[in-house]
Amino acid sequence: MPEVNFFKLVEEELALVESGLADNLDSSINIMNQASVHLIKAGGKRLRPAFALLAARFYGEELAEIIPAAVALELIHMATLVHDDVIDNSSIRRGTETVKSGWGNRVSIYAGNYVFARSLSIISTYQRSDLIDVLARASMKICEGEIIQMLSCYNVNLGLKNYLRRIERKTALLISVSCELGAMIRHAPLQEIIALRNYGYYLGMGFQITDDILDIIADEETLGKPTGSDIRQGVITLPALYALRHDPNGQELAQLLSSPEACINKAERIIEIISDSDGIDYAYYATQHFALKAQKQLDVLPDLPVKKNLYDIANFIIAREY
Amino acid sequence: MPEVNFFKLVEEELALVESGLADNLDSSINIMNQASVHLIKAGGKRLRPAFALLAARFYGEELAEIIPAAVALELIHMATLVHDDVIDNSSIRRGTETVKSGWGNRVSIYAGNYVFARSLSIISTYQRSDLIDVLARASMKICEGEIIQMLSCYNVNLGLKNYLRRIERKTALLISVSCELGAMIRHAPLQEIIALRNYGYYLGMGFQITDDILDIIADEETLGKPTGSDIRQGVITLPALYALRHDPNGQELAQLLSSPEACINKAERIIEIISDSDGIDYAYYATQHFALKAQKQLDVLPDLPVKKNLYDIANFIIAREY
């Protein structure tokens, strides 16, 4: 999402995360190695490591202790991406061939499992079961979210609540956990741990809605995947939800979005209806709403440069600078 | 495998494990619930919980403390079964429709992930990161094993070492970890933890080779799945391995087992060659070898009734009473 570098404060640490990822995806099995290196090359924004590091930054400048957790969080994110690729039948993610299309469904499932187990093994080195507990609970909810999303496809009758639950589990939870773990590892006061957890949650909600907007209005080059990929899979996001209820073409849209065939063959028309509706603007307001809530959480945190940093990240959403 | 009740000593606790499984597979999402209940109904021998309980039995009769770990171990086993079902395209396991054939690949992947995360969440309640560490490491190796198995299909040139590595990761590791965790939770002396871990390992090797024998010689009713299901998937097990090297029909067998089509269409002929070879006997000797090694591990353990119990389980394999 953000192209601006919001992670200057933790830039050196993020470089260490990158080499940590490479080290940790080294497996004794060659094909697993190939699949894993592939994952690293695919890049990504390393948002989760960045937020863990930034949260920890409130409690000292020495962040070496956070690197393993930051690596583990990115590994968990990667594991979910690998499994999503199996399920979505997507062949392109971030412009690179996915693990699935390169090595088949089987390797993808086990590679995802392996990467998840690896991340736990890393977290267990902290010898703190409270960290594992937070991760395990979030993982369960994320799995539930995937199932909700699956069951919600092509269903034009589901409302805002269903959508929010889906994006919470798809994105907000792991960003929330990233902030939470960063603070927990540094033994932050409980009130501040909660504030950072909530900051991550609301910001994550804002990020996902932004992604959902971009999936409709941005071009393939910007996205690193085809425009409207959600629509093609029958995933109904906020702009579509609004258009379904309030646009004069709502009925046509409902017919199209209920049909798996139309979602693929008439994706362009669907994108057109949604883009021309007020759904995009409505979704923008929603991102601003969540970004403001995220900023509000920062009130209880110490006045340090990193606070301004987190505030600015939310501002970036509010100002629609992306 | 064993039809005799070897788990009398921990019978009451196993009943608690059963209700623990039911409680822990309750999710807020209905379809996940259905899939999970399905898993419990499919039954299974609850070997892993039983071994965790038996190992703990060396260190006192009060086993309430072990129940959560026993439940978690069975959940991990279930999670691997669900993912195997996706991959094997099997539609029947233990005579019941698999999660996959009932609800599709997608739910299976996420249900497996959910169940795994749940088991971690349970283990984290012990507030002992050493337990998580043992589980996470074993999980990584199990994933690697699945990949090795996948890559080894239809390959008649691989030898004993490859086979042993596959069954270690498929079965022996989790039974080994079950014994190990049972002892660890009770703070057993290190030497005894290692002995119990090794006992579980060797016994697990013996169990899997026995399963591999039965897959060829037992009928569908006994197995709860079609005879020769390994062969149909191109999985080359010990009896086949022996026949490939030493039977006069070895060359014909090699040709058949190298061809995915023949493995399905000529499964009966393949089963016939292997059954008539000395491969079955050779595999029996291997089970005895491992069962004896398992018994040897018990030497350092306290002389309690449970020791005789574990000894007898290994004897059951040695005496070929199944």
DSSP symbols for B179-246: HHHHHHHTT--HHHHHHHHHHHHHHHHHHHHHHHHHHHHS-HHHHTS-TTHHHHTT---HHHHHHHHH
Q: What H or E segment, with its residue span, contains residue B93?
A: strand B92-93
**DSSP tag of A258:** T
- Best residue of B84, B147, B149, B174 to probe chain A, by most A CBs closer than 10 Å: B147
User: CB under 8 Å to A44, separation ≥6 — which residues?
Assistant: A74, A77, A78, A94
Chain B residues in contact with A78 (beta carbon < 8 A): none
Report the length, in residues, of chain A: 322
Other C-beta atoms within 10 Å of B5: how many? 8
Query: Above 0.90 for ipTM, yes or no?
Result: no
Q: Cα A295 to the chain's mean position, in Å?
A: 19
Model-level pTM? 0.86
Q: Cα A40 to the chain's mean position, in Å?
A: 16
Q: Are B86 and B150 in contact (CB under 8 A)?
A: no
Q: Are A93 and A224 in contact (CB under 8 A)?
A: yes
Chain A residues in contact with B28 (beta carbon < 8 A): 144
Q: Between helices B267-276 and B250-257, what is the axis angle to 10°? A: 150
What is the pLDDT at residue A2? 46
Q: Which residues of B touch A (CB under 8 A)?
A: 27-29, 31-32, 83, 86-87, 105-107, 109-111, 113-114, 116-118, 120-121, 123-130, 132-133, 135-137, 139-140, 143-144, 146-148, 150-151
Report the length, in residues, of chain B: 322
Q: How many helices (H) and strands (E) does chain A have?
A: 17, 2
Q: How far apart are CA A198 and CA A220, in angstroms?
A: 32
Q: Cα A247 to the chain's mean position, in Å?
A: 29
Among A32, A132, A144, beta carbon nearest to B144: A32
Q: How far is A21 from chain B (nearest CA, A)?
A: 16
Q: How far apart are CA A224 and CA A82, in angstroms?
A: 16
- Best residue of B34, B87, B109 to probe chain A, by most A CBs closer than 10 Å: B109
Using CA atoms, how far residue A316 sits from A113, A290, A299, B32, in Å, is 35, 12, 18, 38
What is the pLDDT at residue B96? 61
Q: How far apart are CA A275 and CA A286, in angstroms?
A: 16
Q: Does B111 sit within 8 Å of A116, measured CB to CB?
A: no
Sequential pLDDT tens for chain B (322 residues):
445 678 989 999 999 999 998 888 766 566 666 666 666 666 678 999 999 999 999 999 999 999 999 999 999 998 888 887 776 555 555 556 666 555 667 777 888 888 899 999 999 999 998 999 999 999 988 888 888 888 888 999 999 999 999 999 999 999 999 999 999 999 999 999 999 999 999 999 999 999 999 999 988 887 777 889 899 989 999 999 999 999 999 999 999 999 999 999 999 999 999 999 999 999 999 999 999 999 999 999 999 999 999 999 999 888 876 5
What residues are paired with A96 via a beta bridge? A93
Q: Does A87 sit within 8 Å of B114, measured CB to CB?
A: no
Q: Are A104 and A158 in contact (CB under 8 A)?
A: no
Q: Are B2 and B312 in contact (CB under 8 A)?
A: no
Q: What does the pLDDT look like over A148-205, one tens digit per residue?
A: 888 888 999 999 999 999 999 999 999 999 999 999 999 999 999 999 999 999 999 9
Among B29, B111, B124, beta carbon nearest to A129: B124
pLDDT along chain A (322 residues), means of 10: 73 93 73 65 83 97 95 92 69 56 70 89 92 91 85 91 94 97 98 98 96 91 83 94 96 95 94 96 96 98 96 90 62
Q: How far apart are CA A238 and CA A284, in angstroms?
A: 10
Give the CATH number of domain A8-318.
1.10.600.10
Q: How far is A251 from chain B (nearest CA, A)?
A: 29
Q: How far apart are CA B132 and CA B49, in angstroms?
A: 16
Q: What H or E segment, with its residue span, contains residue B310?
A: helix B305-318
DSSP string, A94-158: TTEE-HHHHHHHHHHHHHHHHHHHHHHHHHHTT--HHHHHHHHHHHHHHHHHHHHHHHHTT-TT-
Using CA atoms, how far residue B119 sits from A84, A196, B72, B78, B241, in Å, is 22, 27, 4, 10, 36
What residues are paired with B93 via a beta bridge? B96
* CB pairs < 8 Å spanning A and B: 142
CA torsion sign, B4 to B6 to B8 to B10?
negative
